[in-house]
Structure 1
Amino acid sequence: MSTYQVLFLDIDGTILKPDHTYDPSTKEAIGQVQKKGLEVFLATGRPLHEIRDLAMELNVHSFIGYNGALALYKEEAAVNEPMKKETVLQFLEIARKNDHEMVLYTSEKNYFTSIDTPVVQHFIEMFQLKQNELFTEEVADQILGATLINLTAEDQKLYHFDPTYHLSQVNVEALLHCYDVIRDRVNKGGAIHKVLEVLKIPKENAIAFGDGMNDKEMLQAVGEGFAMGNAHPDLYQYAKHKTTSVTESGIANGLKILHLIEE
């Protein structure tokens, strides 16, 4: 029986390659660690309603979504932290004034400030989003996470109105103009802390793999944090290990370092 008990895996750039497929070695690695008793979580900025098909393919039943705002252990909620309505409305107002777009995620839908602009259509296509609607203020108190679209690096400072929030650039080459809205106290790392408490698992027995700056708190929240070979350069300082890229069996190679799967 392994001393490791839980594995947290980011999706985009960690499980999924740029063409939205995953390496067969990834599915095989997940199956091998599950046989050794590890619980596997998908830990993503994505809304959970958009990853159910992938989870079914990988036989994973526990999740951290919306960059940590909702965590489910075998469908039971361990974390459920919507954003404050007034904060959501303030983000929307700044975006509107500066010709930026937003997508805001509830537990059921992706709400866009517009649907038919080219940058939004490209975003929807890149993440293969299906449950899309136009935002209305009626759902402003149900928002679990958000992404800003069509920003320059300079534009980030426009959104520094609340010191408990920061922006994290999406680590996808074609979407570097997109930034996830991250809360200092509600992020993947914070969700992992709560999940480990619920499962009574010490930090040292937890493993995580990620590639984006929205993964930095996650890699710090576990004993064995792996940054992918294709990770944002600033992420490596937060990781205990560096593995190969998502296109070079990065998850499988990292788990080999821990002797959890066969060479």
Structure 2
Amino acid sequence: MTMYKVLFLDIDGTLVTPDNRIEESTKEAVSQVQDKGIEVFLATGRPLHEIDDLAFQLNIRSFIGYNGANAVYKGEDIFQEPLEPSLINRYLTIATEHNHDAVLYTNKENVFTNLEAPVIQKFIEVFHFHKNEAYGPEFNRDVLGITLINLKPEDVPLYESEAGIHLSQVNVEGLKHSYDVIRDKINKGYGIQMLLKYLNIPKESAIAFGDGMNDKEMLQAVRESFAMGNGHPDIFQYAKHKTTDVSNSGIYNGLKTLGLVK
């Protein structure tokens, strides 16, 4: 019987390849650890209402979504941490002044500041988003996450003047101009800590895989942390292990080093 109880997997660049596939080796690895009684969570910046197909493919019913603002265990909502409406108003003002775009994620839809913009259409296409709405102020009280779109690197400080907030570049080819808004106190690592406490599972029994800078807190919240070979150059310092690329059986190879897959 294994000492490990939970496995947290980022989606983009970790579970899903750049051409939006899940490798057969990854599916097999997930199935094998599930057979050992390990609960597998998808831990993502994506909104949970847009990952049903991925979850179905892998028989997964537990999630951390919106970069840690919402957690679900076996279909049961454990917590939600919405953003302050005042912060959303300030960010949208900055975005308007600098010709940036944004998507606000509620627990039901993706709310875009400009659905007609080509850069938004590309974003929707890459992530296969379906539940899209045009922005209106009525959404401000229900926002669990934000992605800012069409930023240059020098634009990032405009948004990081807020205390307790930093931006994390989206590690997806063609969308490097997009940045997730991450709260220092509410992130994937916070989500894991809350879930481990809820499930009464020690950190030593947890595993995580990630590739982007929005995964750094997650990788520090578990005992066995793996950075994907294709990861952001700065992510490796936060992981205990480095595995192969997402397109080269990264999850399978990492779990194999722990003796969890054959």
Which residue of the partner structure matches residue 205 of structure 2?
Answer: 205
Deviations 1:99-134 (A, max 9, x none): 000000000000000001111011111111110010
TM-score of the superposed pair, with normalisation by structure 2: 0.99
- Larger deviation, residues 68-77 vs 190-199: 68-77
Give aligned pairs, total. Answer: 262
Which residue of the partner structure matches residue 115 of structure 2?
Answer: 115
1:181 aligns with 2:181: yes
Identity rate of aligned residues, in percent?
A: 60
TM-score of the superposed pair, with normalisation by structure 1: 0.99
Superposed, which structure 2 residues align to 1:215-230 within 5 Å?
A: 215-230=215-230
Deviations 1:12-70 (A, max 9, x none): 00010011111011111111001111000000000000001110111000000000000
Which residue of the partner structure matches residue 19 of structure 1?
Answer: 19
Which residue of the partner structure matches residue 163 of structure 2?
Answer: 163
Alpha-carbon distance between aligned partners in 2 of 1:110 and 1:80, rounded to the nearest angstrom: 16
Alpha-carbon distance between aligned partners in 2 of 1:211 and 1:258, rounded to the nearest angstrom: 19
Which residue of the partner structure matches residue 64 of structure 1?
Answer: 64
Alpha-carbon distance between aligned partners in 2 of 1:72 and 1:225, rounded to the nearest angstrom: 21
Instruction: Please give the root-mean-square deviation of Cα atoms over the aligned residues, in Å.
Output: 0.6
Alpha-carbon distance between aligned partners in 1 of 2:79 and 2:212, rounded to the nearest angstrom: 22
Alpha-carbon distance between aligned partners in 1 of 2:42 and 2:94, rounded to the nearest angstrom: 32
Which residue of the partner structure matches residue 136 of structure 1?
Answer: 136
Alpha-carbon distance between aligned partners in 2 of 1:93 and 1:160, rounded to the nearest angstrom: 14
Deviations 1:185-242 (A, max 9, x none): 1100000000000111100110000000000000000000000000001000000000
Which residue of the partner structure matches residue 99 of structure 1?
Answer: 99
Deviation at 1:173, TM superposition (A): 1.9
Q: Which runs of 5+ in 1 are unaligned?
A: none
Which residue of the partner structure matches residue 29 of structure 1?
Answer: 29
Deviation at 1:161, TM superposition (A): 2.9
1:40 aligns with 2:23: no
Alpha-carbon distance between aligned partners in 2 of 1:224 and 1:259, rounded to the nearest angstrom: 12
Which residue of the partner structure matches residue 147 of structure 2?
Answer: 147
SS in structure 1 at match of 2:235: helix
Q: Which amino acid aligns with 1:48?
A: L
Q: Which amino acid aligns with 2:51?
A: I
SS in structure 1 at match of 2:37: coil
Deviations 1:169-188 (A, max 9, x none): 00012111000000001100
Alpha-carbon distance between aligned partners in 2 of 1:57 and 1:44, rounded to the nearest angstrom: 16
Alpha-carbon distance between aligned partners in 1 of 2:75 and 2:26, rounded to the nearest angstrom: 23
Alpha-carbon distance between aligned partners in 2 of 1:31 and 1:241, rounded to the nearest angstrom: 22
Alpha-carbon distance between aligned partners in 1 of 2:159 and 2:63, rounded to the nearest angstrom: 29
Q: Which amino acid aligns with 1:116?
A: E
Q: Which amino acid aligns with 1:50?
A: E
Q: Which runs of 5+ in 2 are unaligned?
A: none
Q: Which amino acid aligns with 2:42?
A: L
Deviations 1:129-184 (A, max 9, x none): 11001011001010000100000000001112312111000001211100000000
Which residue of the partner structure matches residue 257 of structure 1?
Answer: 257
Deviation at 1:78, TM superposition (A): 2.0
Alpha-carbon distance between aligned partners in 2 of 1:53 and 1:170, rounded to the nearest angstrom: 21
